[in-house]
A and B are shown apart, each in its own frame.
Chain A
Amino acid sequence: MASSRTDQFRRKAVDWITTSQLYRSVFRHGYADTVRNRALEVTSNAFLHLHPITIPAHALKVRFTFCLGGLTFFLFLVETVTGVLLMFYYRPVPEYAYADMKTLQYAVYFGMILRNLHRWGAHLMVVLVMLHMLRVFLTGSYRPPREFNWVLGVNLLVLTLLLSFTGYLLPWDQLAFWAVTVGTNMAAATPFLGAEGPFHGLLGVNGMNDARFLLLGDVRVAGSALLRFYVLHCVALPLVAGVLMVVHFWRVRKDGGISRPL
């Protein structure tokens, strides 16, 4: 008897909530557990709409994909969240950059953990992207009709590496400074576009207008390079990567769903 009274009360409460204007303005589908509502739940939800409405049974087989792509995306989210938090204490100016990094490490509550999460997450993300690529290659999932998605993936790989590279400069310590000095010197060796590369004379490329100069905004690693790398790392590259990821995920579905054993 008692339980039926509770049930009755619960039903009433649920009715009251689900018929309220607030609820209906947010959720555009009914509350009742029907097939239609379940489908609507997915299609009308911003966060779920990338996900297929129906999931084939094989997609639940973890051991075919090891969820490597998904994990990479998860790490991207982790990097975004921790990165945004780190931005609250970091100023991309030579005078402050190193000191701010040390402040994060030593004087900000949870700063050390956040920094380490961000750093190790980044390393792990590169590893996972590679593994993901390997898996796609080994399962032959790059073949038609998925060849365009493979290309997108390769682009995403490059973006991940670029994110790592640009982030490398931000601690502004000796390691960062010299690593980026070396890294950008490579750009100077680009054929045609690098001041020290072959054929640069043909285009009139010199130290003040080559690829390296473009990257650094200077002839050596200095304040402008730090700012450039910061903007690339925090805004430009994540934005591009985000857009490519959306397309990448979309194409996974459109090209026949998640890959499966043949």
Chain B
Amino acid sequence: MRLVFGILSPIFLLLCVVAIHGEETGEWRQYQDEFKRIFTERAQAKLADAQTRGDAAETARWTRVVGEVSQLQPEIKQAFISELGVADRCASCHLGIDDPLFADAPQPYRSHPGKLLESHEPNRFGCTMCHDGQGSATATEAAHGREANWPRVMMPTAVVQSACSRCHEVTHGLAGGERVSLGTDLFINKGCYGCHNVRGAGPLPKFGPPLNNLKSKLTDAPAWIGSWIKEPALVAPGTAMPNFLLSDEETGKITAFLLTLGKPTVTKPVVVDAALVEQGKRLFTERGCRGCHGVEPGERSISARVPHLGTVGSKVTAEWLDAWIADPKQANPETAMPKVVLEAPDRGAIVAYLMSLKRTEPLPRKADSGKFDAAEGKELIKQYECFGCHAIDGFQDVRPAVPDLGEFARRPVAELDFGTVKDLPRTKWDWMRRKIREPRAYEWGQIKLRMPVFPMVEDEGDSLISYSMAMPAPALPASYLVKASAAGSAARTVSWMIGRLNCNGCHRIDGKDAYIATYFERKSRVGPTLDGVGGRLQGQYLYSFLMEPKPVRPWLTLRMPNFGFTQDQARSLVDGFAGRAHADNPYTYVAKAAIDKEHFDRGIRRFRHYKCIQCHPSAVGGALPEGVDPDDLSINLMLAKERLRPEWFMEFLARPKQIAGNQTRMPTIFYTVEGAPKVEHPDEDIKDIVSYVMGMTEDAETTLKGFEEEEKAEQKKEAVDWSKVQY
């Protein structure tokens, strides 16, 4: 008995020692010791550096820091935010999180990247509010949420931006929220919204074209449809149409059903004149078609949604094509294709050109629709819910029944069905990455999945995941929620519309050159940049221009097409562009009364003096001066008073190259590119000219006639040598 006691008792002592030792050398304690070492090292390096430089203030500062560091005691650091019920102890190991000294330190000491902590004080937001994980834990695995029954695993960097949406209703324009914003855009531009619900956007048009009249649209409908739905990418590489992984039988049935729709339309046959092909080819570029559509092999369309026209001659009938180009909205009221301004002969040439583009190799499939039952095809369409993206007769007003992504965002990972997949970490993002890559991966037993395979690059997938997991957190106190501002939601709408309407085809946007720019030798031949357009143009003007474009730039062959915007769409575009340019009220303009006579009169003289009229003829009637290359002409300044914002105008005169880019043909008159004044009173001159132009009531040619005498007298005084002016 005594022996047992004598042995057990020391064993207990040993256990006790182990327990206390474990408590004293916990993981976070070790990290704190290591942190102290690194901190001392770095602070001393800074101190030594300051001493060698002889910087007294810095020396004092770092001496103090070194002293403070040596006093550091191990302690659990906790950010407690009672409003949120958050008590995050992450900083117990992530000790350098808000200290720039640790910007390049190894983890867990590295400071937070970016400037996010400046607007999100850890004191007010904690860590887990954005990152998830288990803030109360002080051991690595548990703290990062990798623990049984803890629903909120810490999000990896790839998808962490989904947290922005917990507070920010709109993430467009937020620094650090690019990825979730991109995901929001992709969700629309990839057509996910066809089946899944989308937050924040109103009713959107069907993503794909209507399938109701394929018989008269396609030349060889049975073969083409069969090949297309079997594997779209084989028929048109890079298409947005996903692959539904259909069996040959299913393909045949669906083809059979689609061929029963619509009736052959009796249209006047279109005569294709082969002689016009070359002209059509030139017009295809000059009129901007190529801004969106790829046509040569190897060339891409601006987006996957825009068809590549390289083989269009074998696909559609000339009648259909002609009618389509004449007015796309007639055939499909929801199409993004605008009505391009084209005279009938030009249209004929383009049709001729397009019809000459034939498929070199035959379609992958033969027509064999005859032996399949169209009724079964209809059942399959019901099953695969093709009507999510396409208008199909018999399926009007039916919404696809698919999982709600808002619910997905709320669901804990434990409720996701991983099917028979074993090799995947049990997180939402891993689940979804696989789902996007292999939509049928989680099929098992009775569970049949229908989601098709979308062509996707990894980064796009992660952006979509960020968006899908994003959801406003209803439990947060109101003081944390950032409602969408009018400008913010308009900016989001613009972002969506730019993606849908492919503005980038002809305009420079977000620093990305116009897609069509490669086909023009002169960079000035493409449409004006849309960066800052909201700050450049008066809202009222932009609105009316969008609703009904009128030519402004005489030298362009491209013409802004009519997109057939609704009033709401045009208004969102105007608001959104203004929001993007950080311009406040898009409807301000200078009333004529506000322009005082003195500046106006001086402005006339300055206008004449700087020979603005040489490039900017403003004679009413719009007839261009003869014998002048349109490339040498610029915008009619009579339009300026309703077009331009005066503050932009003044900026532009002072720094044309910085604002409009180097391709502008506007010379630098008042300041050099570096910003040195080139004339005696640049600011006054600019102000005067702007006053004049914004107040013009008759064309400058007429006005200036009255000043010819004065001009002569003045020319004697100061002569500008135009050969030396920098263009």
Chain A residues lying within 8 Å of B89, measured Cβ to Cβ, are 106-107
Are B85 and A113 closer than 8 Å at their CB atoms? no
A102 within 8 A of B: yes
Contact A102 B134 (CB under 8 A): yes
Query: A residues within 8 A CB of B78?
Result: 107
* Cβ proximity bits A150-177 to B, threshold 8 Å, 1 near / 0 not: 0000000000000000000000011100
* Contacts of A99-139 to chain B: CB distance below 8 A: 99, 102-103, 105-107, 109-110, 112-113
Asked whether any CB of chain A lies closer than 8 Å to the CB of B227, the reply is no
Taking the complex as formed, is B335 at the interface, i.e. its CB lies under 8 A from any CB of chain A?
no
- B343 at interface, CB cutoff 8 A: no
Residues of B near A112 (CB, < 8 A) are: 23
Which listed segment binds A: B136-144, B186-194, B660-668?
B136-144
Give every chain B residue within 8 A of A113 (Cβ-Cβ): 19, 23
B274 interface residue per 8 A CB criterion? no
Contact A95 B85 (CB under 8 A): yes
Most chain B C-beta atoms within 10 Å of own C-beta, residue among A102, A103, A173: A102
> Is B76 interfacial (CB-CB < 8 Å)?
yes
Residues of A contacting B23 in the complex (Cβ-Cβ under 8 angstroms): 109-110, 112-113
Contacts of B139 in A (CB 8 A): 106
A106 with B149, Cβ < 8 A, contacts A99-B87, A113-B19, A113-B23 known: no
B149 close to A102 (CB less than 8 A)? no
Neighbouring A residues of B142 by C-beta, 8 Å: 106
Given the complex of chains A and B, what is the CA–CA distance between A175 and B139 in angstroms?
Answer: 21
> Across the interface, which residues of B come within 8 angstroms of A174, CB to CB?
149, 151
Task: Decide yes or no: A103 and B19 within 8 Å by CB, A95-B85, A173-B149, A175-B149 being known contacts.
Answer: no
Residue in A103, A106, A174, A175 whose Cβ sees the most chain B Cβ within 10 Å:
A106
- Name the one of A106, A110, A175 contacting B136, with C-beta atoms under 8 angstroms: A106
Question: Is the Cβ of A107 less than 8 Å from the Cβ of B138?
Answer: yes
Contact partner of A106 (CB less than 8 A), chosen from B19, B85, B137, B148, is B137
B contact residues around A110 at 8 Å (CB): 19, 23
Contact residue among B85, B136, B148, B149 (Cβ-Cβ distance under 8 Å from A103) = B136
A106 to B136: give the CA distance in the assembly, Å: 7
**Bound Cα distance from A105 to B136, whole angstroms:** 9
Q: Which residue of A lies closest to B4 (CB)?
A: A62
B415-444 CB mask vs A (1 if < 8 Å, else 0) is: 000000000000000000000000000000
In angstroms, Cα B143 to Cα A88, docked, is 24
B136 closest partner in A (C-beta): A102
Interface residues of B in 71-113 (CB under 8 A from A): 76, 78, 85, 87, 89
In terms of DSSP, what is the predominant structure of the interface of chain B? Answer: loop
Complex Cα distance A95/B475, Å?
Answer: 13
Across the two chains, which residue of chain B brings its CB closest to A173?
A: B149
In whole angstroms, what is the CA distance A106 to B23 when docked? 10
Inside 8 A of A107's CB, which chain B residues have their CB?
Answer: 76, 78, 89, 136, 138
Chain B residues whose CB sits within 8 angstroms of the CB of A109 once the complex forms: 23
Nearest-Cβ distance from residue B414 to partner chain A, whole angstroms: 8
The CA-CA distance from A102 to B137 in the complex, in Å, is 7
- Chain B: minimal CB distance from A110 (Å): 6
Chain A, residue nearest B78 (CB): A107
Q: Which of B19, B78, B136 has the most CB of A within 10 A?
A: B136
Contacts of B134 in A (CB 8 A): 102
Q: Measured between C-beta atoms, what is the minimum distance from B74 to chain A in Å?
A: 12
CB closest chain-A residue, reference B134: A102
Task: Report whether A99 and B19 are in contact in the complex, using a CB–CB cutoff of 8 Å.
Answer: no
| Interface contact A106-B87, CB-CB below 8 Å | no
In angstroms, Cα B136 to Cα A112, docked, is: 13
A:55-109 near B, CB below 8 Å = 95, 99, 102-103, 105-107, 109
CA distance A106 to B150 in the complex (A): 15
With CB as the reference atom, state the residue of chain B lying closest to A116: B19
Who on chain B is nearest to A105 by CB? B137
In the complex, the chain B residue whose C-beta lies closest to that of A98 is B136
**Interfacial chain B residues near A173, Cβ < 8 Å:** 149
**Which residue of chain B has its CB nearest to the CB of A110?**
B23
| Per-residue A-contact encoding for B561-587, CB less than 8 Å = 1, 0 else | 000000000000000000000000000
Q: Which A residues touch B148, using CB under 8 A?
A: 175
Nearest residue (CB) in B for A108 is B76
A111 to B, closest residue via Cβ: B23
Chain B positions 321 through 363: 1 when the CB is less than 8 Å from some CB of chain A, otherwise 0: 0000000000000000000000000000000000000000000
Q: A107-B89, A110-B23, A113-B23 are in contact. Are A99 and B149 (CB under 8 A)?
A: no
Bound form: Cα–Cα A174–B148 in Å: 9
Chain B residue numbers with a CB within 8 Å of A103 are: 87, 136
Task: Report Cα–Cα, A106/B134, bound state, in Å.
Answer: 11
Contact mask for chain B residues 143-183; partner A; CB cutoff 8 A; 1 contact, 0 none: 00000110100000000000000000000000000000000
Contacts of B85 in A (CB 8 A): 95, 99
Q: In the complex, A113 Cα to B139 Cα: how many Å?
A: 15
Say how far A196's CB is from chain B's closest CB, in angstroms. 25
The smallest beta-carbon distance between A121 and chain B, in angstroms, is 14
Q: Looking across the interface, which residue of chain A has its beta carbon closest to that of B412?
A: A174
**Which B residues are CB-close (under 8 A) to A95?**
85
Q: Bound state CA distance, A102 and B135, in angstroms?
A: 10
Contacts of A175 in B (CB 8 A): 148-149
- The docked-state distance in angstroms from the alpha carbon of A173 to that of B149 is 7
Smallest Cβ-Cβ distance to A174: which chain B residue: B149
Q: Give bound CA distance, A109 to B29, whole Å.
A: 13
- A6 CA to B705 CA, complexed, in Å: 136
Residue of B nearest to A102 (CB): B136
CB distance from A114 to the nearest CB of B (A): 10
Residues on A lying within 8 angstroms of B by beta carbon are 95, 99, 102-103, 105-107, 109-110, 112-113, 173-175
Residue contacts A-B, CB under 8 angstroms, 7 given = A99-B85, A99-B87, A99-B136, A102-B136, A106-B89, A109-B23, A173-B149
Interface residues of B (CB under 8 A from A): 19, 23, 76, 78, 85, 87, 89, 134, 136-139, 142, 148-149, 151
**Which 7 A-B residue pairs are closest in the complex by CB-CB distance?**
A102-B136, A174-B149, A106-B138, A107-B76, A106-B137, A113-B19, A173-B149
Known: A105-B137, A113-B23. 5 other contacts (CB 8 A): A99-B85, A106-B136, A107-B138, A174-B149, A174-B151
